[in-house]
Structure 1
């Protein structure tokens, strides 16, 4: 038996390794040629300390309190030289991937479909040469064919498959948008790097509020695919806002999720004054059905910077401090900027 371990480095790079039963994470990483920070490897110095974001493990009792205090252990801190997983795990490593003699993985794939799903959104489907592990909500850097430039796009599909998809904003004159709309064809080869990002779905242990703006819907489609696979025991509510009626995409998928996940609900919002949509305005105007639960809620937010700033201000004005707040800002042609408010 072995377990899938996601090592999430502080520069946003995630590397997946297999850890054998009874093997420490440190040993498994070294076996995969990833040099995690360490000095003693005996639970004495604390150099290999990280934080387990999800999963089950055993730390034993061989380490010293000076290396890992009882309070730290209670908060999910671990020593990778002592940590023996008993399930799949996600571990935050407080070091850049390059310092651990690794970096983002590079994969090759082929275009299978390019769909103009609206005037402002493109769906890109890719068949990779091998299955790709990622955390639902993460993104990849996709190299624009014929150039040395990359663009960052969030997955909109289930992790762990060799075929996956992205929902991409159609930017007039944009380098990748122009290629996708004007040149791309089935079979074209792509180079992708990643996965990347700390914006990903954590275990659902309480109500969840998802807030999406435009093509910021993409990571939530991936998260919902994962929840459909694993099941859902707590309410999850999505508010999805766009500028114009024609910008609303993915509605068929959202209705399917709502039909198959009893605890999932969603609302769409359009900001244009000219719209006849029943829900007008911004996402912050339509949080009446949000499961805020007096702050015992996990909030995920992905959208353009003005939307992120507006939502952060909304919670401050309401005096509500969510149990956790994960957000990702995006702008055309630039990598995602992620943040977290615990």
Structure 2
């Protein structure tokens, strides 16, 4: 039996490795040419310490308390030289990827389609080279090279991890580098180079209610997360806590993929969503901003995990709203994006 271990480095690079049954994470990483920090490999020095965000494992009792205290272990800290996984795991590695002699992955694919979804959003679909699968955590992003420019733009996956066809929601920006390529020059069959995955904005294990806040094409990572949850539920690994998504846009016709969200309501037990439109002339029953519609029932008195992805003004408004109203979620993960830049640092 083999388990998939996601190593998230502090520079945003994620590297996936396979770990055999009974094998330590450190040994598995070295076997796959990822040099995780290590001095002793015997649980003595603590150099290989990281944080396991999700997954099951055994640390044994052969390490010294000076290397890993009971308090640290209780908080999810691990020694990769002693950690033997018994499930897939996600581990935060507190050094840059280059220091571990690894780098972000590169993959190529074939452009399948460019579909205008609204006046301000486009869906891009790419088939990976030779039907390969691309591992990433739902919510992460990848750099896509813009052909003929020597530059790239960064977009969150809207598709499920492991699919051979990857999709993205891209804002149609007037005179934008990627927008111009997709609307004026792109043609099915063209080759596209990608670099990734990257980012610390991704879905954690669900142990309590979840509130997702999406602004515009910031819906993309949540579609990936929901696909992952639907797959887990179909495999009998579903989670009971409720998941609610609030999806905000500027105009009625900027709402996209609501048919997909409706399908998730049918596929996913305990999933609900609502839409909010800024335009005062909107026909939508909820007008204004997402901060106007975060009712107490979706905040669960702070016993909630909040995920937020949208343009900087929206992210800043939500942060300010939480601060002004004394709202302290159990965990809060967010990502800002601008049309011409990579997603910002997630928190």
For Structure 1 versus Structure 2, the TM-score category normalised by the shorter chain is over 0.9
Q: Could you tell me which residue of structure 2 aligns to residue 261 of structure 1?
A: 268
- Give the drift of 1:154: 0.3
Residues 1:21 and 2:21 aligned together: yes
**Where does residue 241 of structure 1 map in the other structure?**
248
Contact persistence 1:112–1:126 (CA under 8 A): yes
Counterpart of 1:145? 147
Alpha-carbon separation, structure 2, partners of 1:307 and 1:29: 39
Alpha-carbon shift at residue 290 of structure 1 (Å)? 4.6
Residue 173 of structure 1 aligns to a residue whose secondary structure is: coil
Match of 1:84 in 2: 84
Paired residues in the alignment total 340
Counterpart in 2 of 1:101? 101
1:35 maps to 2:35 = yes
Q: Would the aligned equivalents of 1:12 and 1:197 in 2 still touch at CA under 8 Å?
A: yes
**Residue 294 in 1 paired to residue 301 in 2?**
yes
SS of alignment partner, residue 228 of structure 2: helix
Displacement of 1:339 in angstroms is: 2.8
- Describe the superposition over 1:247-300 as per-residue Cα deviations: whole angstroms up to 9, x where unpaired: 110100000001121201101000012322211100000112652111110000
Q: Provide the rounded CA distance (Å) in 2 between the counterparts of 1:254 and 1:270.
A: 16
Question: CA separation in 2, counterparts of 1:276 and 1:20?
Answer: 55
Q: What CA distance in whole angstroms lies between the structure 2 residues aligned with 1:262 and 1:318? A: 30
Unaligned runs of 5+ residues in structure 1 are none
Q: CA RMSD in A?
A: 0.9
Unaligned 5+ runs, structure 2: 234-238
For residues 11-56 of structure 1, give each alpha carbon's deviation from its aligned partner in whole angstroms, at most 9, with x where no partner exists.
1100000001111101111111111111111110000000001000
1:284 aligned onto 2:291: yes
Moved over 3 A (4+): none
CA distance in 1, matches of 2:152, 2:225: 24
> CA 1:80 to 1:252, structure 2 compared with 1: closer, same or farther past 3 Å?
same
- CA gap of 1:127–1:290, structure 2 versus 1, over 3 A, is farther
Distance (whole Å) between structure 2 residues aligned to residue 276 and residue 74 of structure 1: 50
| Corresponding residue number in structure 1 for 2:277 | 270
Cα deviation 1:197-253 (Å, max 9, x = unaligned): 000000110000000000000000000001111123110110000011111101000
Do 1:114 and 1:123's aligned partners in 2 also have CA atoms closer than 8 Å? yes
CA distance, structure 2, for counterparts of residue 72 and residue 96 of structure 1: 22
Alignment partner of 2:194: what SS?
Answer: strand
Equivalent residues in 2 for 1:177-326, closer than 5 Å: 177-231=179-233, 232-288=239-295, 290-326=297-333
With normalisation by structure 1, the TM-score equals: 0.98
1:157–1:165 contact (8 Å) kept in structure 2:
yes
The CA distance in 2 between the partners of 1:171 and 1:242, in whole Å, is 15
1:171 corresponds, among 133, 149, 173, to 173
* Number of the residue aligned with 2:113: 113
* CA deviation vs aligned residue, 1:148-203 (integer Å, no higher than 9, x gap): 10100000011011111000111111111111111111111010000000000001
